[in-house]
Chain A
Amino acid sequence: MKNPIRLGLLCLGLLCSMPSLWAADIPVKDGESIQDAVNKASPGDVVLIYPGTYKESVYIDKDNITLRGVVEEGKWPVLEGEGKRNDAILYSGNDFTVEWLTITHYKGNAIMGQSGNNFTIRYNKVIDTGVYGIFPQFGKNGLIEYNVLSGIEDAAIYVGMCDNVDVRHNEVFDNVAGIEIENTRHALVENNYAHDNTAGLLVFITPGLPIKTTFDVILRNNFVVNNNTPNFGAPGSIVSKVPQGIGIVVMAADDVIVEGNIVSGNKTAGIVITDLAFITDISSDPESEPNPDRLVFLDNLMFDNGADPVAEVKALMLTQFSRTGPDILATPGSAQEQDNCIINRERYTSFGVKKWSECERRNTADVLSYRIPGGAPSEPVTATNRTKLLYQGICAGCHAYNMRMIGPPTLAVQALYRNDAQGIADYIAEPHKVRPDYPAMPSQGHLSPELRKDVAEYMLKVTK
């Protein structure tokens, strides 16, 4: 009877330290809980979600987990928010992948990330779901592709405060904003189909956020057509101020390249370039530079834009003796300097780009992706370094190796306990004052018995 238990423990140890070799598939069937499967999963594991309806919010606070829907004969797994659950999927782990899910009727976001690096979000359908559809925030190095999103009251795909993200091959329609790149650097938005939104593609700096810049963005080979849906954004939100009928908006962002897009049928304007004055009822932020700079407009196909512009744009166009709106509109006072450039400008109806120079660059064929080759570094927390982190972060705060700090030196503890890790583990659960000249130690009783023992063993082995 002893051997199987020992073997089991051994395997557990290996699983923790070598996740990639031992990656497992964890199936979830209709009627079961995705969260339970995530809780069981170890780094490297794939949670396979079979067709069915799953009424839950799922959070993933571990590294290297994949949620993969299994689609069988056209039947999808559906995450159903019933109009009362907050977000469908919340992830904070690195190397997270979510794919092949249908997500609908959540109050918050469909897929939201906070600071997870190396994320992949693809082949998902997001329908009538809350504030944002796909919303990675504070993440570095991500891929968002082949998703379809509709009926979102803010941005369907919102890349916020991220770096190095590719957004490609998605379809976004019937949303307020289609794809929004906000306070983000190094983003490639390519081959997307943005139609029938209030505005199709948006590249913004929003003031008042801790990350202050948006630059180095390529909008390439997208279809941006017929974005004329009346604005149904929540009152007070920033997109609720976007006038309907705009294909592309560049607000305050710098070094944006627009190339090879088909922009047509947008009733106010094909592309609007503007400064932060565009949103009038937001508090100013001295750290946010409000003007769009160094824009590069390469060849694009633009026609039939501005057929019925909103009043402000109509008034502007009348100053040019034109009743219909433009393909390209740089609002007065913004982006009218020579450091912006455009090629073949005679092909478009435009306003405010007269002083732009001719671009030196003719295409962006040299840029294949903005993701980081090999990924952003991340260190999965394994059992070993978890113990080390605990020791260094908490114990070593008061116990130096061979000198007096707050508590006695680790050397002294080692001499006292020798091989008795359990003795240390018991003590840290319920510390009592031993030495009159040292302060009492705070209890670490909230740590599990196993962790206390692990940390105690680690403490006995520390050598420097």
Chain B
Amino acid sequence: MRALLSGLLLLPVLSSLAAEWRLSEVCPAGFRPEQGRCYLQSLYGEYASLQDSGVGGLKTGLPPLREGFTPQQIDLGRLMFFDPLLSGDGTLACSSCHQPSKGFADGRGLSVGINGQLAHRSAPSLWNVGFLKRLFWDARASSLEEQMEGPLYSPIEMGNSREHLLKSLNESAAYPALFKQAFGDSAISLDRIYTAITAFESSLVSLNSRYDLYANGVHEVLNKDEIEGMNVFRSFVARCAECHTPPTFTNQQIAILGTPEPDGHAFDSGVQAVTGDASQRGGFKVPTLRNIEFSAPYMHSGRFETLREAVAFYTGGRGHAVPEGEKLNLHWHIWEPNLTDREIDVLVAFLKTLSDESFMPPLPSAVPSGLRPVVDVKPN
């Protein structure tokens, strides 16, 4: 009854708004238009990459990006991303757990879904997510389209259903016209919803950090400590760069580290639960480190509050946090580097050189549903 009432109250505002919504005709920052579609323009476009995999040292090409969307599709995705109309009860948007000010994560160990329910894992950052071949901490999805069905329809996350999502978008005053601008006609299908949100998420590119200037030959932008940190990072004592390979700072593989769960939480079996392969027990996707400064807390469980704690985990010794009785095939890069306090400090300093929000998308002050856009969530 309350929902209906507020819906009625909003109606006049909506219809006046509907006429005004006009999707952007220009590509997002960092993308160049080519025959009406948007393609990334990056310093890394000049370089090759071994086996086209986008892993390696400073001057290495990128892995393939999901690109080639139209500006209108990207913009429609942007509006839907911040629109709580996409959740079952109109209270949560994608941006509830992927907040721009928190590195497109949510600042929580475990995310909070519909009706205040706790999700099972920490929300990952979406910066540079368009380069990833596997999504979710346990790598169970292989495309952004496939991935977003998880949170949208999870009863503990956005709590929506396919039917209800289509119904609410079709019944909204503004969306059919916006789909027409983005796709040529006003039909709203699940595929088109997924395409538009994928288009927006793929535009969240962060490759203009001070580190990137260094990588491209402008060495003076990093100070002595940061360069020292970079050398610890890629050294074969810390071995960070073995899995967090530039330029995306992930090798997109599964690694078993044996990081701890929050107190009182059961052991998370990770990839094993997806594949059934016991050798992958406790395995999780190697996350990117770009904009890592903004997306605390860290690890699949959000167990580490600060970057320094997360880095210090690795020097605690191979398997030191594995619960008794657990048999894990820990990754062979995990050993006991015995880093000094200073080395940990400069590592953290280096990680902060990966920060770049210069291509932050415009944050909407209104969304087509007329609901209040979720742009920044204040912590409780």
Binding site for B on A (CB under 8 A): 57, 59, 61-62, 86-87, 90, 92, 94, 107-109, 112-116, 130-132, 135, 137-140, 161-163, 208-211, 234-238, 281-286, 377, 379, 381, 386, 389-390, 392-394, 396-398, 400, 403-406, 439, 442, 446-448, 451
* Stretch of B75-83, B87-95, B124-132, B246-254 lying at the A interface: B246-254
A392 pairs with B43, CB closer than 8 A: yes
A234 pairs with B237, CB closer than 8 A: no
Q: Could you pull out 16 A-B pairs where Cβ atoms are within 8 angstroms?
A: A86-B235, A87-B237, A90-B234, A90-B235, A109-B235, A115-B57, A130-B237, A162-B50, A210-B245, A238-B332, A283-B329, A377-B48, A389-B217, A393-B208, A397-B31, A398-B29
Q: Which residues of the partner chain B approach A386 to less than 8 Å between Cβ atoms?
A: 216-218
A209 pairs with B238, CB closer than 8 A: no
Point out the residue from B208, B227, B246, B330 that lies within 8 Å of A394, measured CB to CB: B208
Min CB distance B227 to A, Å, is 8
Point out the residue from B51, B217, B235, B335 that lies within 8 Å of A381, measured CB to CB: B217
A392 pairs with B41, CB closer than 8 A: yes
Contact of A447 with B231 at beta-carbon distance under 8 Å, contacts A211-B51, A284-B280, A389-B216 already known: no
A235 pairs with B220, CB closer than 8 A: no
Q: Looking at chain B, what size class is its interface with the partner chain?
A: 35 or more
Bound together, the chains give a CA A131 to CA B57 distance in angstroms of 19
Residue B53 lies at the interface, judged by CB distance under 8 Å to chain A: yes
B332 pairs with A237, CB closer than 8 A: yes
Contact of A86 with B331 at beta-carbon distance under 8 Å, contacts A138-B50, A209-B253, A210-B245 already known: no
What would 11 more interface pairs be, CB under 8 Å, given A87-B236, A284-B277, A393-B212?
A86-B231, A90-B234, A130-B237, A161-B50, A161-B55, A208-B254, A393-B42, A397-B31, A404-B26, A406-B26, A448-B221
Residue B194 lies at the interface, judged by CB distance under 8 Å to chain A: no
A132 pairs with B332, CB closer than 8 A: no
Bound together, the chains give a CA A439 to CA B359 distance in angstroms of 11
Residue B370 lies at the interface, judged by CB distance under 8 Å to chain A: no
Min CB distance A235 to B, Å, is 7
Residue B287 lies at the interface, judged by CB distance under 8 Å to chain A: no
Min CB distance A368 to B, Å, is 23
If over half of B's interface residues share one DSSP class (helix, strand or loop), that class is named, otherwise mixed; here it is loop
Residue B59 lies at the interface, judged by CB distance under 8 Å to chain A: yes
Contact of A61 with B219 at beta-carbon distance under 8 Å, contacts A114-B241, A236-B332, A282-B329 already known: yes
Contact of A210 with B332 at beta-carbon distance under 8 Å, contacts A392-B43, A404-B26 already known: no
If over half of A's interface residues share one DSSP class (helix, strand or loop), that class is named, otherwise mixed; here it is loop
Q: Which residues of B (30-57) have their CB < 8 Å from a CB of A?
A: 30-33, 41-46, 48, 50-51, 53, 55-57
B41 pairs with A397, CB closer than 8 A: yes
Q: Which residues of B (237-291) have their CB < 8 Å from a CB of A?
A: 237-238, 241, 245-246, 251-256, 275, 277, 279-280, 283
B279 pairs with A284, CB closer than 8 A: yes
Contact of A210 with B53 at beta-carbon distance under 8 Å, contacts A114-B241, A400-B32 already known: yes
Residue B325 lies at the interface, judged by CB distance under 8 Å to chain A: no
B253 pairs with A90, CB closer than 8 A: no
Bound together, the chains give a CA A131 to CA B242 distance in angstroms of 13
A87 pairs with B235, CB closer than 8 A: yes
Min CB distance A87 to B, Å, is 5
Min CB distance B220 to A, Å, is 5
